[in-house]
Structure 1
Amino acid sequence: MHATIGEIDPASRIGQRWWHGRHSWTPPSLGGFDRRRYDVEPIDDATAKRYVESMHYSRSYVAASRRYGMFIHTGDGRDLVGVAVFAIPAQSRVLTNVFPGLEPYRQSLELGRFVLEGQPQHGRRPPGQIDRAPGNAESWFLGQCFRYLADDGIAGVVSFADPVPRPVAGRVLFPGHVGIIYQASNAVLTGRSACRYLTVLPDGTGISDRALQKVRSQHVGHEYVERRLIALGARALRAGQNPARWLPDALNDVDAVRLRHRGCLRYAMLTSPSARRRVELRLPHHGMGRTAYAVGTLRQLSDVGVVGMSYPKQVDALP
């Protein structure tokens, strides 16, 4: 089935949190964040993977390059309440299209996962209760990560905000977001990723067109995709059956939906004052009735009136 859905209203400024796949909200106005109670430090891949897969709605991990954890001090020691994973995207142009002068993977990375602990019980917060990762924790956490990255030679970070909700079985698994945390960190909005279709499964996760093609051609990784579909109720691929013919039936068996996606909002962030002075960005500007691109430092671009796109005040539904 094909469908088109609208996007989240960007007017809200509340923070998004996760607890075992369910989202909750933390208004900054509640306060409660005291940086003296927290530490941020690098963590190993197994710890980051375990936390992200247990907390994030997608239950999926990324090709991690750097991983950082945010810990809260408790009476018994300290607990992990947030994880940031800076990743290696599938294609280097994800980075070079934004930071043309930085060496991808060595001087620039993608923020692949940013997960903070939410309410154990999905729903209304009990009166007076404050999250263990309260409002304003995310901007401090991201700033501490940038300190580590800058010391490690990483000057530029690209991140994407997905404004399209994922409704599943009568509830919203993922409400969408427009990158409020990135805006609070002086990120530059550079545009959107490519408009595309997503194949969304009943559990709210998606399968990329690349993964679907692996099944059709039986390339490396096809078994994982087939197992996911079978676990959700698809009939198994029989011996000798054409995988390209099996796939549409399998997607129909699990009630997968093809959604038209207008593209994620793409942000560029620089990890230090030095990087903000010297790193060149590629930003869009409008002239002669079309979109063109200019390359330069933030100061150079600003001097000619190129400052990136305005932060979204309204995200329109697709036509």
Structure 2
Amino acid sequence: MQMTTNACPVQRWRLGRDYWRVDRDEGFRKQDYAVDLISDSVAKRFVVDHHYSGSYPAAVERAGLFRGAELVGVCVFSVPMNNAAIPKYTGLASSAGVELGRFILLDSVPYNGETYFLKHAFAALRATRPQAKGVIAYSDPVPRHTDSGRVVMPGHVGVIYQAGNARYVGRSASRVLHLSASGHVLSPRAISKIRRQEQGAQGAERNLVRLGAPQRRFGQEPAEWIDHVLSSGVFTRVKHPGNHCYVFSIGRPAEKRLVEQAFAEARPYPKTLDPQQQALSLPVKSAFHQPQKSDPDWADNDQHDREPQDYPVEA
């Protein structure tokens, strides 16, 4: 079933569950709210507690939305997973752009809170990082659910980015995902870390076990173990058509107009979610004894832009 943006205007989160604000007339009073920079520890705790993914990106800067003394929203600007994404979509140097890694508001914030928060978060970013001229944001339009049918990520097309006059520049590359029974995605970056035994490999391995993978046997090679995990049926393979990609310019009006001249061509805004993807009966490529960094099969997630587990971030 396809869902239009009119049916799901703004998405909110609390304790890992999604909610929707649909009353356009409920009245967001900007005088009741303020935006300020917050520490990494405060931002991380809020995101991990409330966002469905329970994960936190490599933050560059963090802004909080406050109602009085209460933190009711967090915006995290992060290091792009794909170093080529900023030049590709904005025409800027990689150092002149950041990614909107998380953008989350609690369900108690009235409709239109996103527009206010995003505008002031951009201003805070620019004040602390004057070299930042562009922001890239992704939305994942493919719903995901657990094996029992409970929706863990309903999908979104980037309504708040459209409301913020972002330029829609198309989709990131399509890819095959590995989904756990809980509906979470096995990150290609995690697979790469385990294969190559890079920094963070032990944590990635523990996370796979938490998602249902069998424990690695004593003495078993990591590459052999990850091949076994991927072929064991613990994770379902699905084809993902790619996330929607939006870009923003930040700065003064004249600066923004100049920056936008180099942006990728604007495309019509998407208005419907994708259908839920069906499992694929595809063979799993074995990497044991032949993991070469130069082989794109073993490359990091960089060639794929953002991987969906970590980046469906609309409120």
TM-score where L is the length of structure 1: 0.79
Aligned to 1:117: 106
Match of 2:180 in 1: 201
5+ long unaligned stretches in structure 2: 279-315
3-state SS in 1 of match to 2:90: coil
CA contact (8 A) 1:83 1:115 kept: yes
Gap change, CA 1:231 and 1:208, over 3 Å in 2: closer
- Tell me the distance in 2 between the aligned counterparts of 1:91 and 1:55: 25
Do structure 1's residue 70 and structure 2's residue 65 form an aligned pair? yes
Of the three residues 236, 242, 262, the one matched with 1:281 is: 262
Partner in structure 1 of residue 28 of structure 2:
33
User: Does the 8 Å CA contact 2:15/2:51 hold for their aligned counterparts?
Assistant: yes
Shift of 1:161: 0.7
User: Does 1:146 find its partner at 2:122?
Assistant: yes
Does the aligned pair in 1 maintain the 2:76–2:100 contact within 8 Å? yes
Deviation at 1:271, TM superposition (A): 1.8
Question: What is residue 88 of structure 2 aligned with on the other side?
Answer: 97
- Deviation of the 1:141 alpha carbon: 0.4
Taking only the aligned residue pairs, the percentage that are identical comes to 39
Q: SS at the partner of 1:98?
A: helix
Give the counterpart letter for 2:101 in structure 1.
Answer: G
Partner of 1:24: 19
Note the C-alpha offset of 1:171.
Answer: 0.9
Quick one: structure 1 residues 51 and 28, their matched pair in 2 at CA, closer, same or farther if it must change by over 3 Å?
A: same
Distance (Å, rounded) in 1 between the aligned partners of 2:71 and 2:43: 10
3-state SS, counterpart of residue 16 of structure 1: strand
Q: Could you tell me how far 1:217 is from its partner in structure 2?
A: 3.1
User: Residues 315, 79 of structure 1: CA spacing in aligned structure 2 closer, same or farther, 3 A cutoff?
Assistant: closer
Aligned residues: 272
Map 1:204-283 onto structure 2 (within 5 A).
204-251=183-230, 255-272=234-251, 273-279=253-259, 280-283=261-264
Paired position in structure 1 for 2:303: none
User: Structure 1 residues 83-92 or 149-158, which shifts more?
Assistant: 149-158
Stretch deviating more after TM superposition (20-29 or 222-231)? 222-231
Once the two structures are TM-superposed, the CA of residue 209 in structure 1 deviates from its matched residue by 2.1
Structure 1 residue 139 displacement after superposition:
0.6
Alignment partner of 2:142 out of 136, 148, 164: 164
Structure 1, unmatched stretches of 5+, are 1-5, 119-130, 285-307
CA distance in 1, matches of 2:100, 2:86: 11
How far apart are residue 97 of structure 1 and its match? 0.9
User: Partners of 2:187 and 2:200 in 1: how far apart?
Assistant: 12
Q: CA deviation at 1:282?
A: 3.3
Q: Give per-residue Cα distances to partners, 1:174-221, cap 9 Å, x unaligned.
A: 101101000001110011111111112223321222321322333332
Q: How many Å separate the matches in 2 of 1:244 and 1:7?
A: 39
Once the 2 structures are TM-superposed, how far is the Cα of residue 252 of structure 1 from its aligned partner? 6.0
Q: Is residue 48 from structure 1 mapped to residue 43 from structure 2 by the alignment? A: yes
State the Cα deviation string for residues 98-131 of structure 1 (Å, max 9, x = none).
Answer: 222x3323x311101001012xxxxxxxxxxxx2
Matches within 5 A, 1:280-299: 280-284=261-265
Deviation at 1:51, TM superposition (A): 0.5
Question: Residue 143 of structure 1 aligns to a residue in which SS?
Answer: helix
Determine whether 1:310 maps to 2:268.
yes
Verify the 8 A CA contact 2:12 2:105 in the aligned structure 1: yes
Deviation at 1:150, TM superposition (A): 3.0
1:137 corresponds to 2:116: no
Q: How many Å apart are 1:234 and its aligned residue?
A: 2.9
More strand by share: 1
What TM-score, normalized by structure 2, do the two folds share? 0.80
1:240-269 Cα shifts (integer Å, max 9, x gaps)? 223333224434667311221100010011
* Structure of higher CA gyration radius: 1
Residue aligned with 2:181, SS: coil
Secondary structure at 2:110's aligned position in 1?
coil
**RMSD after superposition:** 2.2
